[in-house]
A and B are shown apart, each in its own frame.
Chain A
Amino acid sequence: MTAPTPPPAPTVPVHDDRPHRVTKPFFTFGTVSLLIAMGVGYSFGVTRMLLGLGQVTNLDDHNPWGIWISFDVACGVALAAGGFTTAALTDIFGGRKYKALLRPAILTAFLGYLWVAIALSFDLGRYWNIWRPIFNWQGNSVLFEVGMCVTVYLCVLAIEMSPSILEGLKARIDDNEWGAAFLRRIEGPIMAAYRGVRVALPIVIVAGVVLSCMHQSSLGTLMLIAPTKMSPLWDTSVLPLLFLFSAFMVGFPMVILESIYANISFGRSPEMELLTPLSRIIPWFIGLYALLKLGDLAVRWDSLDFLARPGATTSLVVEILVGVVAPFLLLLNKAVRRSMGWLFLSVALIIFGVVLNRINVFLVAYEAPYSTRSYFPSVGEIAMTIAIVSSILFCYRFFVTFFPILPGFQPQRVAELERLREERARTVSPFWTWVIRGSAIAFLLAFVAIYNVVHVTAERGTVKLVESVRRVQAATPVFAKAPSNYPNRPPGYQNFYELKSEFLAGRSDDYEPVPFAHRIHDEITGGDCSACHHRYAADPSDRVGVDLVEYHAQFDVKVGGACAACHQDLQDRPPQGCQRCHAAPSEADSPSRIGLKGAYHRQCIGCHERQATTEYAPTACNSCHHPWTPDHGALVDLSGTPRPQDVTGLCLSCHPRVGRDILATAHWRWQGYSPVLKGYEHRGDVSLTMMVNNTCISIGSNMQECASCHIGYGWVDEKFDFSNPNNIDCLVCHDTTGTYKKEPGRGGLPDPSVDLVAVAKKVGRPTKRECGSCHFASGGGPFTKHGDLEPALVDPPPDLDMHMGQLKMRCQDCHLTIEHRIAGMSMSAPAVEGRVRCERCHGPTPHGVAGVLSRHLDDHVRAVACETCHIPSIARNLPTLLRRDYSQAGADRPAGVDRYGMPQYDKRFGTLTWGKNIVPKYLWSDGTRNASLVGGTIAPSAPVVLNAPVGEKRDPKARIFPFQLHEAVQPYDTVNNVLALPKLLGGYWVDYDWSKAISEGMKLVNVPYSGSYGFVETRMYSSVHHQVVAAGKALGCADCHEPEAITCTRCHRNAAGMALPEHRRAMYPEAKARMDFKSLGYTDDPARVGGRFYVTLGRGVPPR
C-alpha cells in the first residue's frame, strides 16, 4: 500500500463550524441532471400506479420483493444511520466537536427515511392503505414493528430538523428575502416553535437513538420469518443484532462520505480536522460487527453448505472481504485516515459492504423453492431506484441552499447569529420548559404503553379478528351444524360434514350417472363377489361387519370365485349392498370408512386400473360417464318460425365437423359398405332404395313417403342434394321435447305445427324415443315390422327388456356411435357401420356364475346366439304383423277386428294377420344374408325369400339366431319374372289400379315393366335382437330339448344322486317344438346325439 499523500493544511484562517446556508446557484448541471433522472424514474412510478406492479417490475409470486424493498427501503434505512449515530455521538456521548457534522447527518437521515416511505408507497399494492397500521395493530408482525418505529422516528427526525428549518425561515425574514412578507406575519409562532423545539430536543434526541436501534435491528428480524427459504449463509437468529451493529458501523462512514462529497461539490476544502478523528472510531464498530458476523459463521460452520449456491457464497465473501475486512485494515492506518482520497475509499467500501449485505439478505439469500426463474430488477425498477436516490440528492441540495445546515467557512451573517443568540437569551420560562419536556416524555411513555399493549395482546394470540371473521363466528359456530341425514350419530362424530356429493349434484348437468351393470362385472370377476362385497355383517345394524375372507375361513371355505356355487339363492338373499356400510364418509364407528361415492369410484377405478387392458376397463371419467348436452337455450339464437334448414345452419355454425361427418353416414346416404350382402360384400353403392321388401314393397318408388324417415329435409326425388349439410335434420334425433315429428309425404320435412325454436333450444343426446321415432315405426306404422322393437321400449318394464328396462340403457350404449356412424345391422338395409355384439360386454363365456350349468351354457354360445335363449318371444307387449296379402287389396270390405283388436283387412294392404307373443323362427346365420335388389328375377313357383340369412350347421361361423318371419302376397311382373314395384302413396292408394301403380313405380326406379302382373308369395326375415330377458326368464333346457334327453349321468358317470328336475321343466311350455332340430340339420335332438363338431354323447349307457 502506497502511503497516502498528506492532506493540505486548513487554509481558512477563521474557521466557523456554525451552520450556514450555501450561497451557490441552485440550478447547476448537477441539479438539472438529477431532475432529469427523477423525471425518467417517476414516469415508471406513474406507470406502476396506473397499470399495476406487474407491468413495471419483474416481481412475481415467487419473488414478491425486489430492489424497491431491498435497496430503496432496507439500504435506505441502513444508510440513514448517520443521523442517529452522530446525534448520539455529539449530544449524548459528548463528542461536541463533531456537531458541525450533525445537521447534515440529520438532514441525510430525514431525507433517507422520507424517501423510504415514498419508495414504499410505490411498492405497496394498496398504497392508499399505508396509514392502516396506525389503527390496525399486529404486534406479532416484525413489519409492524418496523413500520411503526420508522413512522415515529420520521416524526423525531422532523423535530430534529425543525431548528434548521425555523432558523432558515427566520433568516429569510431578517434578510428580507422572497417570501419574507408572508413569513413576517407568522414570525411569532416560528420563534415560539423554535424555542419550544430546542427545549424538547434533548428528550427527542435520545428517543431517536432508541427508536433507531429498535427498527434497525427489527429490519434484520424481518427475513427470519422464512427460515426455509433463506440461505443458511445469512439465516441466523443474531441477524437483528448484526443489522444493528452494521447500522452503527455504517453511520459515521455515511457522514464522512457526505461531508467530503458536499465540500468537494461546493468547492470547499474537506473538513479533515473533523473527519480524521471521527474515522478513528469506525474500526471499533467494524471490529464489533466483524466479531459477531464471523463468530456467528464459525458457530454455524458445520451446518453451512458453501457449495450449494456458489453465487451466494461469492456474494458473502465479497461482502465480508470488501465491505468489512478491507476498510477495517485501511482505517487502522493513520495515513489513510488523514488522506481525503483514501478515507473516501475506505468509507465507500464500508457503505458498499452494508448495501451488499442488505441486498444479500433480502434478495440473494431468499430463494423460493418453487420459483422457476431468478429475479433481476427490471428497467423500471432500476430507473425508479435511481430517481429515489436522485431525489434525496436534489432535496439535500435544496435544503442546504435554503436552510442553515452546512457549516460555513466565512462568517458572512454575523448579525443573524447575534440575533439568534439574543432569541436564546429570551428563552422559555422554567414552567413552559417542563410543560414541553413533560409532554414529550408523556408522548414517549404513551408510545411505550401502546407498544406494550400491542405486544402483550399479540403474544397472547388474541389478535384482533377481522370484522368478517367475527361475523363468521357469531353467525354459525362451525360445529353446531349437525348433518341432517345422520342425526343419530354418536356424539363427537356429528361434526363430520357429510359429503353431500356436490360432485354428483354439480356434475349431473355435465355427466350422466353410470348404470352399474352388476351381472357383467359378476361374470368378469369369475363370480367372485368378494371383489367388491368385501365384508359381511350378520346383524343389519352392524355397520362394520367382519372381513369376508375371515368369515368364510371358519367354514373352511376359501373366497375367490364362483360364490354362486354355494349361494344359489343370490336372488332371494343378495349380498349386502354398498350403502349399508358406506352411507357417509368417515363415520363414528369407523372414521376411515369412506362414503358411497368414494366407495364406488375407488372400487371401479382401482379395479380398472389394475386390468391389463383398458379396452374393457376404461379409467377416464367420460368412458363410464356419458356427458350430458349443455343447455342450448341461450345458444340457439332463433325466434319466430325459421325454416328447418335455418335451424340446421345454426347447428352447423357451431358444429361444422358434425355436418361433414353426417354427409358420410348411412343414415344420411342410405347406402354404404355392405359386407353382409351376399354378392355385394365389397360394394359401397348398394342403396336402401334398391332393395325390395314385402311390406311397402319398394322405397325407390315411394320416395316421398319413405323419406319421412330420412334424416334430411326434402328428399322427394333424385334431385335431392346429398352434399348440402343444411338439409340435415338434426332435430329428429336430438329432440328432447318429444314434440318434434316429421310430416308423412313431404320428403322428411317437419310437421308445420312443430315449434322448431323450442325444440332447438332443448336439444340433447338421442334417447330411445328419438331412435324409435323411425325404427319403432318401420314397416308402415308402430309395431308393424319389428316385433322386438316397439314404443314400449322407450321406458320398458325390466321383464320386457332388461337392458333398456332394468339398466335404463340407451340405444347407443350397444349401437356404438363414432362420428355419427351408428353400429348395427338391419335385415333390410344394406349398409353396415359396425356390428353390435353381446360379447363386447359379456365376453365369450358369459354364464360364469350360473352354478353347475355354466359350462354347459357357455358351450352353447358356440352354436347358439345369445338372443336365441334370451329372447324367448317377441311382440310381447303389442301385436306385430305376420302376413299381408296385397292380392286382396282394393276392395271396400269391413276391416274386422281380430282378438288383439287389430284390423284384419285394410283396403290399402289387403288382408292382415297379426300375432302377439310369437316364437321367433330359428335359423343358422353367419351374419350375412342374400339380397333381393330391384329388377332381380324370381322363381314365382315357390314362395320367394327376399333376404334369407346365410348359414348352415356345418359352417363353424354360423350360429342359430332367432328371426321374425314376414309373409306376404305381393305383385310381380309375370313376363319378366321380377317383383313389381308399385307406387303406393299417390299411386295405388288413390285409384287402386295395380297396373297403373306398378307402371308408375317401376318407371321411377328404371326397371322395365311388361304390363302384366300377378301375385306371388314372399317371405322376409327380420333379425331379433331386442326385448332381451335376464337369466331367470331365459329359455330353459327343456324349452328346446326333449326332457328325457337331458340327463347328467350319461357323461358324469359317477353322478349318482344328481337330479335335475328343474332343467327338465320348460320355462315356456306353451311354445311347443320351439326348435325344429331336423330343419336345422340335426338328425335328432343334439342333447341326445351331440353337437355340431365336438361332442359324441352317450359314452355310457343311460341308466334305466
Chain B
Amino acid sequence: MDINRRRLLQLGFAAASSAVPVAALAEQPDEAAAAEAKAADGASHVGVLYDTTLCIGCRECEAACNRRNNLPRTPVPFSDREVLRTARRPSDTAFTVVNQYQGSPSADQASLPHTYCKVQCMHCLYPSCVSACIVGALTKAADGAVVYNPTICLGCRYCQIACPFEIPAYEFFKPLTPRVRKCELCTDHEKGTGANPACAAACPTEALVFGRRADLLATAKERIAKRPARYLNRVYGEREVGGTAWMYLVGRPVREIGLLPLPDKAPPARTEAIQHGIFRYGLLPTAFYGLLAGIMWFNHRAHPEDGPGIGEASDDAAQQGAAPDEEVRR
C-alpha cells in the first residue's frame, strides 16, 4: 500500500469539497428572513429611551436597581457622588452604573460641566448572548427582555465573550452556584411579571422613559427634530448590532461618553449563518459521510481481506518489512 499523489489529491479534493460550500455559506447570512422575523417580534418589544442630555447623575437609578434586585448593600450610599469620579462598569453586584464624563452633554448646554451616561444591559433585539448560550439559559422573553435562567446554566461564560457591550457579569467567587448577573429589565420570575424597570420609574428627570420600543423610537426622533441643536442626529441603539431595546439620545459623540461605536450588523447573524449553513438539514455532514464511506468501500474492495485498521492485528508485517518504503531504502 502506498500513499501516492493520486491519493493525496483524493484527500485534498475531499477536504476542498467540504470546504467550498462552507466558505460560500459563511458569507451568505440569511439577513432578509432574519430582519423580517425581527420586525414581527419587535412590535411587541418594550424598551427604555435614555436621554443623556437630561441625566443629572443622581444615581437614583442605581439605588432603585439595587433595591429591586435585592443586591448587596453598597459600602458607600447611593447619594455619594464621589464615586462618579472613577469609571465603573456593571458588575455582579450592580446591574447598572452611571458614569461621569468631562464636558457638557450637548452644544446646547454649554454651561454644564459634566455629562452622565448610564450603562446596563441593552437588551439587543438580536442578542449575541442568547445566540451564544449553549443551553438557552439566556433567552429573549416575549416582551423583549433578555432574561436568565440559572437552573440550566453551565457557567461557560460564553455570553460574556459574546456580548458586544461587555455587560454580563459573573460571580467568580462563588464555588458552587455562580450566576451570570445582568439587568433583566426587572422581569420578575417569581411573580411571573414582565419587564418593568425600576430605574426608569426612579429617574427624577425622566431621562429614562420606559415604553414600547417603536413608540420610544418615534419619541426619540421627535425630540431630535425639535431640538437639532441639542441632539446628534442619531439614536444609539436604533440600529447598533441589529438594534437594542435600550436607546440613547446623545448630544456628543458616543465614544466620548463611554459608548462603543458598533456596526449595524448583529454578530449572531454571521455565526448562525455559518452554523445553519454548514449543517442545514444535515446535508453536508451526510454527504461527506457518504463520500468517505464510498472511498473506504472502494479501497476495501481492492483489498477485501483487510479489516479496519484499529481492530486489525494485520498480517502485513512481513510484507511491510520485506518491502520497505522507497524513501527509506534511499
Contacts and interface: CB of A to CB of B under 8 A. Distances in A.
Interface in A1078-1097: none
B212 A17 contact: no
A51 B191 CA distance: 32
B170 A64 contact: yes
Interface in B14-54: 15, 18-19, 22-23, 26-27, 37, 41, 44, 46, 54
Contacts of A129: 135, 152-155
Contact of A369 (B142, B168, B260): B260
Nearest to B156: A124
B317 A15 contact: yes
Given A334-B327, A586-B211, A127 B204 contact: no
Given A449-B282, A467-B149, A475 B58 contact: no
Contacts of B176: 126, 128
A130 B308 contact: no
B263 interface: yes
Interface in A501-522: 501-503, 506-507
Given A139-B276, A225-B161, 5 more contacts: A91-B296, A163-B310, A225-B128, A469-B141, A493-B215
A496 B156 contact: no
Contacts of B215: 493, 495-496, 586, 591
B285 A448 contact: yes
Instruction: Pick from A16, A226, A369 the residue with the most CB of B within 10 Å.
Output: A226
A370 B166 contact: yes
B133 A141 contact: yes
Contact of A64 (B136, B161, B271): B161
- For the residues of A in contact with B, the DSSP-based class is helix
Interface string A436-480: 000000001000110110011011110111111101111110110
Contacts of A277: 3, 325, 327-328
A467 B56 CA distance: 39
Interface string A475-500: 11011000000000000010111011
Contacts of A94: 1, 7, 299, 302-303
Contact of A370 (B19, B89, B275, B311): B89
A248 interface: yes
A99 interface: yes
A595 B292 CA distance: 69
Nearest to A138: B136
Given A140-B268, A444-B289, A228 B308 contact: no
Contact of B310 (A87, A206, A241, A597): A87
A621 B79 contact: yes
Contacts of B188: 472
Contacts of B85: none
A224 B137 CA distance: 20
B151 to A, nearest CB: 8
B81 to A, nearest CB: 8
B19 A244 contact: yes
A49 interface: yes
B122 to A, nearest CB: 13
B219 A586 contact: yes
Interface residues of A, number: 166
B136 A499 contact: no
Contact of B320 (A15, A139, A479): A15
A102 B156 CA distance: 33
Given A61-B160, A93-B295, A474-B192, A145 B279 contact: yes
A329 interface: no
Contacts of A248: 15
B198 to A, nearest CB: 7
A91 B131 contact: no
Nearest to B142: A473
B157 A64 contact: yes
B17 to A, nearest CB: 11
Interface in B261-277: 262-263, 267-268, 270-272, 274-276
A540 B263 CA distance: 48
Nearest to B137: A466
A507 B178 CA distance: 32
A202 interface: yes
Interface string A106-137: 10000000000000000111111110110011
B135 A132 contact: yes
A284 B8 contact: yes
Contacts, number: 460
A228 B309 contact: no
Contacts of A463: 130, 136, 139
B103 interface: no
Given A228-B263, A240-B274, A475-B192, A337 B327 contact: yes
Given A50-B175, A421-B313, A503-B203, A138 B274 contact: no
A814 B147 CA distance: 51
A1046 interface: no
A601 B310 contact: no
Contact of B193 (A206, A244, A476): A476
A90 B204 CA distance: 73
A202 B296 contact: yes
A467 B147 CA distance: 11
A138 B201 CA distance: 35
A1020 B18 CA distance: 109
A128 B137 CA distance: 15
B289 A140 contact: no
Interface in A208-227: 209-210, 213-214, 217-218, 221-227
A597 B320 contact: no
5 contacts: A88-B11, A125-B178, A217-B278, A221-B275, A471-B192
Contacts of A197: 311
A495 B201 CA distance: 15
A214 B285 contact: yes
A164 B222 CA distance: 74
Interface in A744-779: none
Contacts of A210: 285, 288-289, 292
A144 interface: yes
Contact of A476 (B133, B174, B194, B280): B194
A79 interface: no
A147 interface: yes
A272 interface: yes
Given A87-B310, A205-B310, A506-B67, A592 B222 contact: yes
A999 B275 CA distance: 108
Contact of A141 (B44, B134, B226, B280): B134
Contacts of A591: 215, 218-219, 222
A132 B128 CA distance: 20
Contacts of A245: 15, 19
A238 B1 contact: no
A229 interface: yes
A511 B26 CA distance: 58
B139 A595 contact: no
Contact of B154 (A51, A126, A167, A597): A126
A949 to B, nearest CB: 44
Contact of A17 (B163, B200, B317): B317
Nearest to B92: A61
A595 B135 CA distance: 42
B196 interface: yes
Contacts of A448: 282, 285-286
Interface in A1046-1078: none
Nearest to B302: A94
A300 interface: no
A198 interface: yes
Interface string B196-217: 1010111111110111100110
B314 A475 contact: no
Contacts of A865: none
A287 to B, nearest CB: 10
B272 to A, nearest CB: 5
Contact of A227 (B149, B194, B267): B267
A785 B37 CA distance: 81
A95 interface: yes
A595 B203 CA distance: 11
